[in-house]
C-alpha cells in the first residue's frame, strides 16, 4: 500500500514538472518571437533606412522617427512601429505563460495579468499608430507613464516571488525590465552610446536593438527554466 502511494506521488510530481516545463517553453517561444520582431524593427531603422538615408533636412536619429515612444510629432519608418507593436503583444503573452510556469497562488496570476495588460497597451498603441500613420490617443504622458510604472513594479514583484521556485524564470523577469520605459532610457543614454561610439543629440543608434536583446535573453532564460524543470530529481529552484 505504501509503495503504491509513493508511486502515485512520484507520478503526480512528474506531471507537475511536465506542466511547469510546458508553460516555460511557451513563455520562451513567445519571448523569443517578441525579441526577434523587435530586432527586425531595429534593423529596419538602423541598417535599412540608415544606409539608404538621403534626406538632408533631418537625420534618421531624430526623435521624430522613434517607434518605442510614439508621440506627436511622429513620422513612421516603414513597418518599424508595427513590428514593435506585435512584439510587445507577444511579450505580454510571454509574461502570462512564465507566471503559469511558477505560479504559487492567485497573486502571481494577478501580478502577471496587470503587467501583461500594461505591455499590451504599449503594443496596441504602437500598432494603432502604425495603422493610422499617426500617434494614437494613448500617446499622452499620463497614459505612457502609468503602464511603465506598472511594468516595473510588477516585474520586480514577479522576479522576487519566483526566485525560490525558478531562478531562471526570476532572471527572465529582471531582463524584461529592459523593455520598460526606464530600461529604454538606460539603453539610450548608457548602453547604446558604448556600442555606437558616441552619444546622439536625439536617439543613439542601436538603442532599440539593446532593448530587443534583453527580450531575447529573457526567452533564453525561460528555455533554461524549461530544461531544468524537466529533469527528474532536480530541485525547483535549480530551474
Q: What is the mean pLDDT of each run of 10 residues along the chain (239 residues)?
A: 41 44 95 98 97 93 94 95 98 97 90 97 96 91 83 97 92 97 95 96 96 98 89 49
For residue 3, what pLDDT is reported?
42
Q: Supply the range of the domain harboring residue 219.
A: 2-238
Closest CA to 157 of 175, 170, 168: 170
For residue 11, what pLDDT is reported?
39
For residue 129, what pLDDT is reported?
96
Alpha-carbon distance of 232 to 52, in angstroms, equals 54
Alpha-carbon distance of 214 to 57, in angstroms, equals 33
Entry pTM: 0.88
Alpha-carbon distance of 29 to 83, in angstroms, equals 17
Total domain count, the chain: 1
For residue 139, what pLDDT is reported?
85
For residue 112, what pLDDT is reported?
97
Alpha-carbon distance of 209 to 206, in angstroms, equals 5
For residue 144, what pLDDT is reported?
77
For residue 239, what pLDDT is reported?
56
| CA contacts within 13 A on the Cβ side of 85 | 18
For residue 187, what pLDDT is reported?
97
For residue 31, what pLDDT is reported?
99
Amino acid at each position: 500500500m505504501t509503495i503504491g502511494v509513493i508511486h502515485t506521488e512520484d507520478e503526480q510530481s512528474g506531471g507537475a514538472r511536465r506542466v511547469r516545463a510546458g508553460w516555460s517553453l511557451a513563455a520562451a517561444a513567445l519571448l523569443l518571437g517578441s525579441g526577434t520582431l523587435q530586432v527586425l524593427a531595429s534593423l529596419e531603422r538602423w541598417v535599412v533606412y540608415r544606409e539608404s538615408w538621403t534626406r538632408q533636412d533631418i537625420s534618421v536619429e531624430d526623435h521624430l522617427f522613434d517607434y518605442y515612444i510614439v508621440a506627436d510629432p511622429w513620422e513612421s519608418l516603414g513597418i518599424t512601429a508595427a513590428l514593435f507593436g506585435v512584439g510587445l503583444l507577444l511579450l505580454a503573452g510571454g509574461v502570462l505563460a512564465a507566471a503559469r510556469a511558477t505560479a504559487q497562488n492567485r497573486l502571481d496570476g494577478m501580478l502577471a495579468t496587470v503587467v501583461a495588460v500594461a505591455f499590451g497597451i504599449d503594443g496596441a498603441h504602437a500598432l494603432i499608430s502604425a495603422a493610422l500613420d499617426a500617434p494614437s490617443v494613448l500617446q499622452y504622458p499620463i497614459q505612457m507613464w502609468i503602464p511603465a510604472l506598472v511594468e516595473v513594479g510588477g516585474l520586480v514583484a514577479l522576479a522576487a516571488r519566483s526566485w525560490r521556485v525558478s531562478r531562471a524564470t526570476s532572471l527572465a523577469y529582471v531582463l524584461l525590465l529592459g523593455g520598460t520605459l526606464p530600461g529604454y532610457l538606460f539603453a539610450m543614454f548608457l548602453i547604446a552610446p558604448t556600442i555606437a561610439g558616441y552619444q546622439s543629440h536625439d536617439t543613439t543608434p542601436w538603442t532599440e536593438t539593446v532593448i530587443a536583446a534583453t527580450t531575447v535573453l529573457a526567452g533564453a532564460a525561460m528555455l533554461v527554466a524549461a530544461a531544468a524543470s524537466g529533469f527528474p530529481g532536480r530541485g525547483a529552484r535549480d530551474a
